[in-house]
Every structure is written in structure tokens, then in C-alpha cells.
Amino acid sequence: MRDVDYKLIMCGKGPESKKVSKLIKKYNLEDRVEMKGWVSEEEKLRLMSTCRFFVMPSIYESYGLAALEALSYGRPIVCTDVDGLPGNVKDAGYYVKPKDSEGLAKAINQMLADDGLRKKLSDNAIKVSRAFTWDDQIAKTEKLYRAIVDGTVGPED
């Protein structure tokens, strides 16, 4: 979507970072894509508070804390439907299959093109994030531990 005003800001590093950097240069996307690497907590929060939406194309993800942080800022999410992400993101974003670049591009383009959809998902993000307070998480963890100790939950649950 070259006609839409956007810039992709990538934070963190992974095994494909060098390859991605080369592709950005090869396709002359330096004006559209910025690779920041690891950022400070302050910078991360600044980026979360100013972005239109948050993209998390993980191949695996145990919990998705970064996605929860984005939700707390009312940011819709585009993420893969792996492990902890769908349970945490719920109705506040789009899900795509891992390594599905076409599906990811389609979801991102939809977010860029549809202000109304972004607003609706943003409202949902705020609602979803309210369910993830520290007190709530502590209570759920305590309940799980008690069930394990009592023998009412096992490895297959």
C-alpha cells in the first residue's frame, strides 16, 4: 500500500534480522521500514503510545507480554495464532497463520485502510486489557497451584 502514509518500525532482534535488513535495502524501503533493534523501556512505551496498531508475527510465543502491553494502550493487534496470543488478544485484532506472509500483508493492509475497523478493535483492546491486571493474574495462578496441590488438575489438563 504505497499510497497510504505509514512507517513500519521493527523492535527487537532475531535470527532473521540481517536478512530483513538486506531486503529493506534491496527494495529501497528505508523510508518505510526502520529496524531499531532492542529499545529501552521508555522508547518501547513511546512507540506503543504513538503507533496505529501493533504487529507480532511470532512463530511461537509463550504468553505475548508485548501484545498485552500494546492492548493496554488501546492498540489493535495483528498477530499469529500461536500459543498464548489468541487467548490474550481475543477480539482486539487479526490472527494469521505463522509464516503466512500473504495473510500478514492482507491483515496489515486492512488495518491501514480501515479507520473504522481500527477504532472498533482499539476499543476492544482497552476492554480486553482490563482483564489482565496483576491481581487477576495472581489469583488465577494461585487457583491453578491449589488445583495442582489438591490433585484436581493434572498434566493432561
| pTM of the complete model | 0.78
In a domain, 72, yes or no: yes
In a domain, 148, yes or no: no
Q: Quote the pLDDT of residue 132.
A: 76
Look at the chain and report how many structural domains it folds into: 1
Percentage with pLDDT > 90 across the chain: 56
Which amino acid is residue 66, in one-letter code?
Answer: A
Q: How confident is the model at residue 3 (pLDDT cuts 50, 70, 90)?
A: low
State the CATH number of the domain containing residue 115: 3.40.50.2000
For 61, the grid coordinates are 510465543
Are the C-beta atoms of residues 76 and 121 closer than 8 Å to each other? yes
Residues of the domain holding 87: 39-132
In a domain, 25, yes or no: no
Task: Match 535495502 to its residue by C-alpha cell.
Answer: 25
In a domain, 80, yes or no: yes
Task: Tell how strand 54-56 and strand 33-37 pair up.
Answer: unpaired
In a domain, 155, yes or no: no
Checking if the pLDDT of 153 tops 80, the result is no
Q: Of the ranges 9-18, 46-55, 76-85, 115-124, which one carries the lowest mean pLDDT score?
A: 76-85
Structure confidence by residue, pLDDT tens digits, 31-78 = 999 999 999 999 999 999 999 999 999 888 777 788 888 999 999 999
